[in-house]
Chain A
Amino acid sequence: MNPANYLYVSAMLFTIGAIGVVVRRNAIVVFMCIELMLNAANLAFVTFARINGNLDGQVMAFFTMVVAACEVVVGLAIIVTIYRSRRSASVDDASLLRR
C-alpha cells in the first residue's frame, strides 16, 4: 500500500483532534482530542520512518508515547482537582486568569 495513505489518515486524525479541542467544552473530551492529535503525530512519525528507511521516526514515536503518558497523569490530576473545587469539568468555567 502507498505509504502516503497513512499520512492522509494522520492528517485527518490530527484535524479531528484539533477541531475537537477548539469546539468541545468538556475537559475530558478536550483531553481525549489532544491524545488523538498526539497519536496522529505518532502515525506520521512512523510513516516517515518507513518512507525514509531509517529508525529515527520510530524512536521519536516512543518518546511521544512516554510524554503522552506523563501528560495524561498530570492533566487528569488537574481536571479532577478543578472538578472538585468548581463542580464542573467545563474548560470555559476555568477562566479565572482573565482577571
Chain B
Amino acid sequence: MTSNALVYLIALPLFGAAVLMLAGRRADRRGHILATVLSGGSFLLGLYEFSQMLSRSSENRAVTQKLFSWISVGSFKVDAGLMLDQLSISFVLLITGVGTLIHIYSIAYMSHDLDRRRFFAYLNLFVAAMLLLVLGDSYLNLYVGWEGVGLASYLLIGFWNQKPTYATAAKKAFVANRVGDLGLSLAIMVAFATLGTVSFSGVKENAGQASTAALTAIGILLLVAATGKSAQLPLQAWLGDAMAGPTPVSALIHAATMVTAGVYLITRSNFIFDAAPIAQLAVAIIGAITLLFGAIIGAAKDDIKKALAASTTSQIGYMVLGAGLGPAGYAFAIMHLLAHGFFKAGLFLGAGSVMHGMNNEVNMRRYGGLRKFMPITFATFGAGYLSILGVPPFAGFYSKDRIIEAAFNAGGVRGVLLGSAALLGAAITAFYMTRVVVMTFAGKARWEEEVHPHESPALMWLPMVLIAFGSTFSGFLFTRGDALRNWLAPVVEPVAAREQELLSPALVSILALLLVVVGAGLAVMKYLRQDVPVVAPEDVSIFTRVARRDLLQDDFNEAVFMRPGQHLTYALVDIDEVIIDGAVRGVGRMATGSAGALRTTQTGFVRSYAMWILLGAIGLIAAIWMVTL
C-alpha cells in the first residue's frame, strides 16, 4: 500500500517550527496556538491513518510513501521514504497524542516566559524529528530523525541557557547522545558493508545470508545507539541533568519522544537481534542492570524531577529488558513503553503543576501535605503513581508484570537472574515512588512562609486529567484479547507460547504485588510515620551517599573518560609546543645563529677582504695545479 498523506504527519509540526522560528516576535501572540493546533492536526491525521489501517487485513496494514530519491551512488541507493506500519502507528499516536497534550499544558506553564514562542518552535521541531525517526523506512532515514531529536533535546534542555549550569546540562546530553549516534552510524555502515542495503525491508530480507558475527556486530552497535538515546548504562548520565529544561520538556523527553527511540530501534531491528543471540543477551543484561541502577538513584533523590528522571532510566530499563528477551518480549516492551508514555507524562506534568504552585521549588523536603491544596494534581499524579507501581487495573500492572514474567521464562539461570532483577526493581520502584508521593502530598507542610500553594489553571490540569485516564485504562485495552500483541505480530513475529513455564502469570503478579507492598510500606514507615527533615541528613550510610551522587556515574565518567582525555590533550599540547613548535623555532634559531657566526667574518676592512680574495685565488690555482699535474 502506498499513501501520499504520510509526509503531512511530519510536515505539520515541522511547518509550525519553521514559521515560529522565522516569523520572530511577530508570532509571539499567536505562535503557541499555531504550534498546538499543528501538533493536534498531526494527531488527528495519525488517528485517521490508524482507522484506515484497522479497516485492512493485518498483512496489508503497512503503508509506504516514497518522497524522493535521496542517494544514488553505484549500487548504493537510498530513497527518502516513509513507512507506517503497526509499530510506527503506535509511536505516532503516542508522540502526537501525548505531545499535543504537553503543548496545551505548556501554554499555561510557560505563559510568563518571554521566549514562549521559541519554546513552542522547539517543541514542534522535537515532535517532527521524532515522527521522522519512527516513520523512516530505512536506517538512514531513521538516522535523520535520530539526529533531529538530539538537536531538539539540546535546544530544549538548554532553553534557559542564561544559567551556565543549564547550558552545561544541554551540552552533556548532546555529547552523551553523540557517543550513541556514533554507534548508530557505525551500525549503518556495517549493515551496508555486509548486507548491501540500509532499508528495513532489505536488511530483513538479507539478514539470513549474513554471518552471525556481522549481525552480532550490528546488534551491539545498535545497542550502543539505543543506550545513548534511551539513557541506559553506560550512557545514562545525561538524563538527570536534562532536568535543567522546563518541566513540559522533561515530560516530552521522558514520555513521548527521545528516550523511547532506543526501544523503538531495538524493536524495529528485531530481525537482527533474533539472529544474533549474543547481542540480544547484551540488550537484556543492559536493561536489567539499568532498571536497578535507575531505581536505586531514584530512591536517594530529593529533587522531585531528578527522582522522576531516575525513574525513567529504570522504566526504560524494563523496556530494554523486554526487547532483549526476543519475540517473547517485544510486544510487552512496546506495551510498557506506551503505558509509560501515559503515566510518566502524568507524573512529570504533575510535578510541573506542583512546582507551578510552589514558586518553582523542586526540593521534596520543602513540600508536604499538598493534597489539600492541589486535589486535581494529587489525583492525576496518583493515577500515574499506581500505574508505575503496577497496581491492577492500572496500565503498568499489565505491561510490567508481563515483562517480569517473560524474563523469568527466558530459560535457565539467565531467566532467573533477569526475572529476579526485574522483581527487585519493582520493589525499589514502589519504595521511591511512594517516597515521592508521601513527601509531596502527605505529611506536614514544610514549605516556607511566603509560598502559597494553589491548584494550577485548567489549561494545565485538563491535559493531566486526560493523561491520567490513559495511565488508568490503556493497559486494560492493550491486553484485552492480546490486542497489542496481535496488532504488532506482523512486525515482531511472536513465538508460540512456551511449553514449560517457570512461573505462571498469576504467581508473578502476586509476587510483584507483594514486593510492591513491601517497598511502599517501607517508604510509608520512613517518610510518613517519621517527620521528614527539611535539610537532607548528613549522617547517612555510605550506600545512601553513593546513591545521592548518582551511584558515582559522573565520577566514573570523569575519572575514566574526561580526565584521561584532558591529560591526552595536555600531552598533545606539550608535543605541539616542544616538538612541532620546537622544530619550527629551531630552524629559525639555527638561521640566526649561523648568520651571527658568519657575520663576524665580515669585518668591513678592505684589506681583510683583499686577503681573503688572495687566499682564495691561491687556493684555486693550487687546486687546478694539483689536478692538472
Interface residues of A (CB under 8 A from B): 18, 21-25, 30, 91-92, 94-99
Contacts and interface: CB of A to CB of B under 8 A. Distances in A.
Interface stretch (B109-117, B143-151, B203-211, B600-608): B600-608
Nearest to A98: B604
Nearest to A92: B605
Chain B contact residues (Cβ within 8 angstroms of A): what range? under 10
B611 A96 contact: no
Contacts of B614: 18, 21-22
A21 B610 CA distance: 7
Contacts of A98: 602-604
B100 to A, nearest CB: 85
Contact of B603 (A23, A30, A94, A95): A95
Contacts of A97: 604
Given A22-B607, A98-B604, 13 more contacts: A22-B611, A22-B614, A23-B607, A30-B607, A91-B605, A91-B606, A92-B605, A94-B606, A95-B605, A95-B606, A96-B604, A98-B603, A99-B604
B604 A25 contact: no
A24 B611 CA distance: 12
A7 B607 CA distance: 26
A4 B602 CA distance: 39
Nearest to B603: A98
A91 B602 CA distance: 15
Interface in B572-629: 602-607, 610-611, 614
A22 B610 contact: yes
Contacts of B604: 95-99
Contacts of B602: 98
A21 to B, nearest CB: 5
A22 B606 CA distance: 9
A91 B606 CA distance: 6
B610 to A, nearest CB: 5
Nearest to A18: B614
B607 A21 contact: yes
Residue among B603, B607, B611 facing the most chain A CB atoms (10 A cut-off): B607
A96 B605 CA distance: 9
21 contacts: A18-B614, A21-B607, A21-B614, A22-B607, A22-B610, A22-B614, A24-B607, A91-B605, A91-B606, A91-B607, A92-B605, A92-B606, A92-B607, A94-B606, A95-B603, A95-B605, A95-B606, A96-B604, A97-B604, A98-B603, A99-B604
Contacts of A92: 605-607
Contacts of A25: 607
A25 B607 CA distance: 8
Nearest to B617: A18
A91 to B, nearest CB: 5
Residue among B602, B603, B606, B607 facing the most chain A CB atoms (10 A cut-off): B606
A23 to B, nearest CB: 8
Interface string B160-187: 0000000000000000000000000000
A21 B607 CA distance: 7
A78 to B, nearest CB: 11
A21 B606 CA distance: 9
A23 B614 CA distance: 12
Q: Which 8 pairs from chain A and chain B are nearest by CB?
A: A98-B604, A95-B604, A91-B606, A22-B611, A21-B610, A97-B604, A18-B614, A22-B607
A44 B602 CA distance: 33
A29 to B, nearest CB: 11
Contacts of A24: 607
Contacts of A21: 607, 610, 614
A24 B603 CA distance: 17
A98 B606 CA distance: 10
Contacts of A95: 603-606
Contacts of B607: 21-25, 30, 91-92
A58 to B, nearest CB: 23
B615 to A, nearest CB: 10
A22 B608 CA distance: 7
A23 B602 CA distance: 18
A87 B611 CA distance: 25
A52 to B, nearest CB: 18
Contacts of B610: 21-22
A4 B343 CA distance: 123
A96 B604 CA distance: 7
B611 to A, nearest CB: 5
Contacts of B603: 95, 98
A18 B617 CA distance: 11
Nearest to B606: A91
Contacts of B611: 22
Nearest to B612: A22
Nearest to A27: B606
